[in-house]
Copies of this chain bind each other. A is one copy, B any other.
Amino acid sequence: MLKISELSAKVGLSAHTLRFYEKNGLVNASVRSESGYRYYNDADVKRVEFVKSARNIGFSLDDISTLLSIRVDKQSHSCQEVTDITQNKLDEVNSKIAELQSMQKILQILLDSCCGGPENAIHCSIMEALEDHEIQSPHEGVS
């Protein structure tokens, strides 16, 4: 049975974060001492590690809650439920990547167009590009 700081050291999440996760219903210590100290057993540790893996992939705490509820009763849940969560996350990641790549592309064009030197910025092509109306939000461009 681990105390909170021992669990913290073991899994690499701060005691604060572990208490925060508990407050949000993700993980709790199976045992509390008379004085209120948290004690985590092996199953608790595994659950925390599951949360950490899911978090490392990028799942939100909400997603993780759902995954945990599947985890405690796998018989009542299907692979499809799991892939749905995973696919939604992948879609989200892909759309963020697309947005960032559109920024990346514009930023690279701007950098390529500017001399980057010590001369004054009166004819700076980056400043000129920002004056023009050619730059659209990556969200607005539907095509």
The interface of chain A, by Cβ under 8 A from chain B, is 46, 49-50, 53-58, 67, 70-71, 74-83, 86-87, 89-90, 93-94, 96-97, 100-101, 103-104, 106-108, 110-111, 114-122, 124, 126-127, 129-133, 135-138
Contact = CB atoms under 8 A, between A and B. Distances in A.
Nearest to A131: B50
A62 to B, nearest CB: 16
A23 B117 CA distance: 33
Contact of A130 (B50, B83, B100, B132): B50
A138 to B, nearest CB: 7
B120 A77 contact: yes
Given A104-B97, A111-B83, A114-B83, A78 B121 contact: yes
Given A70-B127, A111-B90, A126-B86, A117 B58 contact: no
A128 to B, nearest CB: 10
